[in-house]
Every structure is written in structure tokens, then in C-alpha cells.
Amino acid sequence: MAARRSIGIVVNGVTGRMGYRQHLVRSLLAIREQGGVPLAGGGHIWPEPILVGRDPDKLAAIAAQHGLTEWTTDLDAALARPDAEIYFDAQVTSQREKAIRQAITAGKHVYTEKPLAESSAASLELAELATAAGIKNGVVQDKLFLPGLRKLKRLIDGGFFGQILSVRGEFGYWVFEGDWQVAQRPSWNYRLADGGGIVMDMFPHWNYVLEELFGNVRTVQATTATHITKRVDERGEEYAADADDAAYAIFELEGGIIAQLNSSWTVRVNRDELVEFQVDGTHGSAVAGLRGCKIQHRASTPKPVWNPDLPLTGKSFRDEWTEVPDNEEFDNGFKVQWEAFLRHVVAGETFHWDFESGARGVRLAEAGLQSAREGRRIAIGEA
């Protein structure tokens, strides 16, 4: 029988939304259910989660529910285990930097949720520490693996667009205030002191999406808002929501593409998906969402005429677009990236979604916040 290569993974923040659902259940346990991550030379990688958190009852319950035995509230003890080779962090953002430093000192490879840290300086420092320690490192960039964005990448690689001119992105949905309907996101997201804010949450995603599909970001101009200033938390108590809950931004990319992305927790959805990117090129356009992607080629572009006196009849503009076929099976994006990171650690396969790219994401968020504060366009890398 082919060899099983077990690898201990300290999973910190496993009681949280992302830590539990996407990383433990949909990634690490799903990998075990499929029989591990196959290795090119035969055999497979077998993740052994070591659950870490603050609440022993919750940890014990999660472990019992999934047939796991290893859990602790003591991060140092978990990091001291010789069988723990990887540290993974899905804690609230404000707790991340400290824990990652501990893990690097303990000589573990580190994989983490975004944002890598709360500031660009801290993120760069973590990248330097990781390089100096010679540990493998990575940051979650799940949006790249969404079926809709994979299809968009396929269109770009196939030359569908001709010259790409612009990208228009709409991300968001209404996050309930928590008074008459329970909020669907944790309250720390709406408090600056706890690492909240939509810019810190979403710009790290926008950075890698833009970088990987269209070009590095050269400048950003953002207007942010805190539209809803009072919310009700998990305990039913009202709190002051002081973090930005909407950001309206324009990014200029290397190569001249203009990307205009709205991010909002205060918008009601009138689109097909929670995020949509429209890409317009000289030869064609596409609208990509989480799963779907539709296109319109220059040859099938209708010729609208501006005439508000006449009602629109016949086909709607939306009907003139064609759905891009799947042509492949799309697995959960978090799991696909976990598999790549595990192969990177065990078999040395390349993995470029590292701390440096995570740090570029935080730098973009910081530049966006600076732009909003100062009311001007910020060049990336400008002090």
C-alpha cells in the first residue's frame, strides 16, 4: 500500500466561522474523506488537525463530533509538539500577528487566513521573519479558486477580451444590524479596535484578484463610509459601529486597466451573485460571479440607441449574453488551496501565495484607508 505521510496541523480559531466550516470541515476533513492529498511520486498526505481555541467545551464538542482527539487551549503546548509541522490561523485578525510570531519561533510552517496582520509594516516583518527562519508560508486567497473567476481566467488566457480596458466589481449584501434580525457576520467586523472594517476585510482579496488576473495595482483612490453607526452584538447589546462598512474605490493597474470596485455591507443585492466583476475588452466583455460567467463577443454586441421616449421591447440587454460552460469540476476553493500548501510543505511544490503576497494585500488596504482619510489618490509604495 502506498505510504501515508501524516502531518500535524495546529488549527487556531477553529470555533470561528471560517476556521470551522471552510478550513476544518470543508478542507482538512474533506481531504481525509477523499483519502488524503495524493503525491506525485505515490502515497498521500494525511492531515492530523490539532484544534486550538479559548473555549474547552467548544473544542471538545467539535473534536467529538468529527472523531478527532487532539485539542487544547494552550497554543504554546500545541506548538511544542514535534508532530505539529504546520500552524494555521483563522482567529480574529487582531490576534493573528502575535500567534504567527510564536509559530515562526517554534519553527513551524505557517498558513493563515487574510489579512496577514493589521498593518503593512507588521505584515512585511512577518514575511521577513518567515524567510529568515526558512519556514514555508502562505495566506488564504480563496477567491482565485471560485468557479466564476476560474472561468474568467480561462477567458483571459484564451485571449477572448483583446485588450482589457476596465473592470467593474460589485461586492456586498445587507448585513443586518442585529436588532430585529440577528446579524450574519461577527460584531468585531464593525469595530476598528478589534481589527474590523470592510477595507481591511476586502482589499486584501481585491489585491490578489487584480494582481493575478489583470495586473499589479499602481494607485488607489477610495472613499469609505460608516453608513450604519449602531449595531447589536452577539449578546444582544448595542455597540458603536465605528469601522468602515462600505468602500467605493478606483484602482489603476500596471498596463493601464482601470478597476472600479465597490465593497459594501450596506447594499441590498440586485445582481445574480454576491460578487460580480464586469470586464470590458476591445473584443469582448464578461461578467463573472462566484460560480457563473457570461460573455458577449464584439460580433454579438447589440447597438443600443439612447431613446427614453420608447419603452424597451423584445430581448432585454441581459438576454444578449452567453453562459461560459464549466468544462471541469470545481472543488471548494479553500480545499484546493490547502492541498497546494500541503504539497508545498511535503513535496516542495511551488506555492506563490506567500506572506509577501499577503503583505501586498494589507499594503493595498492601508493605502485605501489613507486615500479615504486624505481625500487623494495614493500611489502604491508611496510612504
Please report how close the Cβ of residue 372 comes to ligand NAD at its closest, in angstroms.
19
CA distances from 61 to 33, 51, 64, 295 (A): 20, 11, 5, 47
17 is a contact residue toward ligand NAD (CB under 6 A)? yes
Backbone angles phi, psi at 90, to 5 degrees: -130, 30
Please report how close the Cβ of residue 212 comes to ligand NAD at its closest, in angstroms.
15
Gap between the Cα atoms of 23 and 112, Å rounded: 10
Please report how close the Cβ of residue 260 comes to ligand NAD at its closest, in angstroms.
21
Please list every residue from 24 through 83 that binds ligand NAD, using CB under 6 A.
53-54
Please report how close the Cβ of residue 281 comes to ligand NAD at its closest, in angstroms.
27
Work out which of 95, 166, 219, 332 binds ligand NAD, going by CB under 6 A.
95
Work out which of 93, 123, 285, 371 binds ligand NAD, going by CB under 6 A.
93
Please report how close the Cβ of residue 363 comes to ligand NAD at its closest, in angstroms.
16
Of residues 95 and 370, the one with the C-beta less far from ligand NAD: 95
Query: Among the candidate windows 59-67, 88-96, 255-263, 343-351, which touches ligand NAD by CB under 6 A?
Result: 88-96
Residue with CB nearest ligand NAD? 16
Gap between the Cα atoms of 86 and 10, Å rounded: 6
CA distances from 10 to 48, 55, 70, 111, 195 (A): 9, 16, 9, 10, 23
Q: 258 is written with which cell numbers?
A: 482601470
186 is a contact residue toward ligand NAD (CB under 6 A)? yes
15 is a contact residue toward ligand NAD (CB under 6 A)? yes
Residue 341 · residue 47 · CB < 8 Å: no
Of residues 332 and 370, the one with the C-beta less far from ligand NAD: 332
113 is a contact residue toward ligand NAD (CB under 6 A)? yes
Q: 227 is written with which cell numbers?
A: 453608513
Please list every residue from 193 through 232 that binds ligand NAD, using CB under 6 A.
201
Please report how close the Cβ of residue 300 comes to ligand NAD at its closest, in angstroms.
34
Work out which of 8, 16, 36, 289 binds ligand NAD, going by CB under 6 A.
16
In sequence order, what DSSP letters do the residues of 49-99 get, joined into one string? EEEE-S-HHHHHHHHHHTT---EES-HHHHHH-TTEEEEEE-S-GGGHHHH
Residue 280, C-beta contacts closer than 8 angstroms, at least 6 positions apart: 161, 164, 165, 166, 168
Task: Count Cβ atoms below 10 Å from residue 158 Cβ, excluding itself.
Answer: 8
371 is a contact residue toward ligand NAD (CB under 6 A)? no
Work out which of 8, 9, 10, 13 binds ligand NAD, going by CB under 6 A.
13
Work out which of 140, 198, 324, 364 binds ligand NAD, going by CB under 6 A.
140
Closest C-alpha to 48, from 8, 3, 101: 8
Of residues 201 and 276, the one with the C-beta less far from ligand NAD: 201
Please report how close the Cβ of residue 275 comes to ligand NAD at its closest, in angstroms.
11
Work out which of 10, 11, 45, 90 binds ligand NAD, going by CB under 6 A.
90
Total number of residues that touch ligand NAD (CB under 6 A)? 20
Q: 78 is written with which cell numbers?
A: 500545541
Task: Count Cβ atoms below 10 Å from residue 55 Cβ, excluding itself.
Answer: 11
Of residues 74 and 382, the one with the C-beta less far from ligand NAD: 74
Q: Prior bond to 186 cis, omega within 30?
A: no
129 is a contact residue toward ligand NAD (CB under 6 A)? no
Gap between the Cα atoms of 53 and 128, Å rounded: 27
Closest C-alpha to 359, from 245, 219, 208, 224: 208
Work out which of 37, 88, 91, 164 binds ligand NAD, going by CB under 6 A.
91
List interacting residues with ligand NAD (CB under 6 A).
13, 15-19, 53-54, 90-93, 95, 113-114, 140, 142, 186, 188, 201
